[in-house]
Amino acid sequence: MTTRIGTALLLGALSLYLSPGLAAAEEADSLEQVVIETATTPAEHVALASHYRGKAEHARADVSRHEKMRRSYGLGPIKGTQVMKMQGHCKKLSELSGAMATEYEGLAKEHEAAAKTTP
């Protein structure tokens, strides 16, 4: 019974964390750290995997947003070297966001594996 309550609290906390604007970023980071440090059951690892898949999804959305902005530069009144610098900025952010998405997917897979091997 205690495990079910703990899992319910964990899932509730993660849902709050994933909901923008419900908690300050510092509090969310602290909550994420506590959950990571105390995850001992398969359900907790599954919840963490879901959390990291959500973060990967957000990072992929950032890739799309930065690529769209990169294409938009040059269509307006700014031209030349400035446009190239702005497009370069967007390209770099897009690449970084893509790398973050890959890392979060990797974390999700690790927690899924932990869920299968945790008694």
In degrees and rounded to multiples of 5, residue 68 shows phi and psi of -65, -45
CB 55 within 8 A of CB 97: no
* Mean pLDDT in residue range 31-46: 87
pLDDT exceeds 80 at position 7 = no
Q: What is the pTM of this model?
A: 0.71
Separation of alpha carbons 49 and 60, rounded Å: 16
- SS3 assignment, position 76: coil
CB atoms closer than 10 angstroms to residue 47: 22
